[in-house]
Chain A
Amino acid sequence: MSTTRKNKRFFGTTLPGCDTTKLLGKLIVLEGADGSGRSTQIEMLKDWLENLGFATTSVGLKRSTLVAEELDAAQQGNILSHTTRSLFYATDFADQLENQIIPALRAGFIVLADRYIYTLMTRDIVRGADPEWVRSLYSIALVPDAVFYLRVSPQQLVERNFKKNATLNYWESGMDIGLSHDMFESFMKYQRLIQAEFRKMQTTYGFAVINGNRSGRAISGELRAKVQSIVNMPPQ
């Protein structure tokens, strides 16, 4: 099969010292709230791709060598102001971009990103950050080859979160922004705000919305079909 390779590009400013012509792999992003089935789908995609003979690597938020631990500790204490937290997350993201994503793409891997800049930007914007500032901050990111957003209704999310953890997560409920003292109400309000922001981004960044209210198998079928058109499938 003949392969046409488009060069990767950055949203804005190019990272100092990065040659984008040599990034042969593919960057595939899955976005969605906690409980949207994101991680499960990534696992299934990974199995499927590896079975086909592709090398893959997974990245996610708060996994950098540089600041992941510090970020976690700071989150626990809830001692960060908004701008500081935004920048802290951006640091974590940039570290993974430069030390994991780009080297893997250079080596021809398929990089599966469990969330990307869209979640980070959405969280900041919902907390009152200037959208222009946030966009500029993340303009250092690579434009992915595909972005899939798993949209699940807040009601379903609540149920799945209870099933998984028995409690709602403080941050995923947006408790830090004071939407409501009632955690359930705060969760519903916060998730609606996030979804509204994602809807806005969808038109700007053009990502595929996947109905996440369906069964895991139905979702994975749709994802595979879509991923097939991005990667160069090996001859059967």
Chain B
Amino acid sequence: MTNTSKYPGKLIAVEGLDGSGKSTQVYLLKRWMEMQNLKVFFTEWNSSALVKDATRKGKKRQLLTPTTFSLVHCTDFADRFERQILPLLRAGYIVLADRYMYTAFARDSVRGCDPRWLRTMYSFAAVPDITFFFDTPLAVSLERILSGRPQLKYFEAGMDLNLADNEEDSFRIFQGKIYDEYKKMVPTEHFVVMNGMLPVEKQQAMVRKYVEQKIDLPVFRQRGKR
């Protein structure tokens, strides 16, 4: 895998279970950078228009197997990486990614894909300068999701894995397995672990402090008008 050190930009990724609070944290990080007038760009997992159609079709018709599920998402990611993330890094932006390839490593290996195959497939992607992992006990993130949004989609709930016969039970087991995969990656992928049980503003203060120490932020200030 390529390191971002060869590009002028920086890449910061946030990872964690649904309901871990990572999206809130990355949003606040982005706001803070914008207010410092830094060149910052936010990107989300699974958001490119190009292969959205295929994903939607496959999900609706339940055509996807673990392998094609993984390939469709990697294609989508590659499109976003080659057309957006990489040019931004080369243009000297700080890119904030809400979920990155580690989401695929965790989720797809739970589905039975070979971890080595997955890692080689994603090896075109730049390794983030910082990857924050928002660690929230499984019960807490489940509670946050299941109390707020009871309507779970088929693949989101991991129904394709035959873990349980209803969406909610399946989701619980599936998330538990994903959580285990994340935990395994903490040392190998050098995750910066954040305690997702702390108050939002406290976590954010820690995130900002870490970023400030690791990245020379003034370099990324936009020149010209303010």
Contact = CB atoms under 8 A, between A and B. Distances in A.
Interface of A: 12-17, 65-67, 70, 74, 79-84, 87-88, 90-91, 94-95, 98-99, 132-133, 136-137, 139-140
Interface residues of B, number: 31
B120 A137 contact: yes
A95 B111 CA distance: 16
A123 B118 CA distance: 22
B65 interface: yes
B177 to A, nearest CB: 14
A234 B184 CA distance: 54
Contacts of A74: 50
Contacts of B65: 15-17, 94, 98-99
29 contacts: A12-B114, A13-B117, A15-B67, A16-B67, A16-B112, A16-B113, A17-B65, A17-B112, A66-B54, A66-B58, A66-B64, A66-B68, A67-B51, A67-B54, A70-B50, A79-B50, A80-B50, A81-B83, A87-B121, A88-B75, A90-B71, A91-B54, A91-B68, A91-B72, A91-B75, A94-B68, A98-B65, A98-B68, A133-B121
A105 to B, nearest CB: 16
A232 B66 CA distance: 34
Contacts of B121: 87, 133, 136-137
Interface string B100-124: 0000000000011110110011011
Nearest to B64: A66
Nearest to A132: B120
Interface in B118-175: 120-121, 123-124
B67 A87 contact: no
A83 B68 contact: no
B202 interface: no
A83 B63 CA distance: 23
B53 interface: yes
Given A13-B117, A84-B82, A91-B71, A70 B63 contact: no
A15 B66 CA distance: 8
A179 B182 CA distance: 45
Contact of B124 (A66, A80, A83, A140): A83
A13 B75 contact: no
B128 to A, nearest CB: 18
A232 B58 CA distance: 38
A87 B75 contact: yes
A74 B50 CA distance: 8
A14 B112 CA distance: 10
Interface string B35-51: 00000000000000011
Contacts of A16: 65-67, 111-113
Contacts of B82: 81-84
A80 B79 CA distance: 7
A12 B67 CA distance: 14
Nearest to A98: B65
Contacts of A90: 71, 75
A84 B123 contact: no
B83 A70 contact: no
A99 B54 CA distance: 16
A67 B52 CA distance: 11
Nearest to A82: B82
A83 B111 contact: no
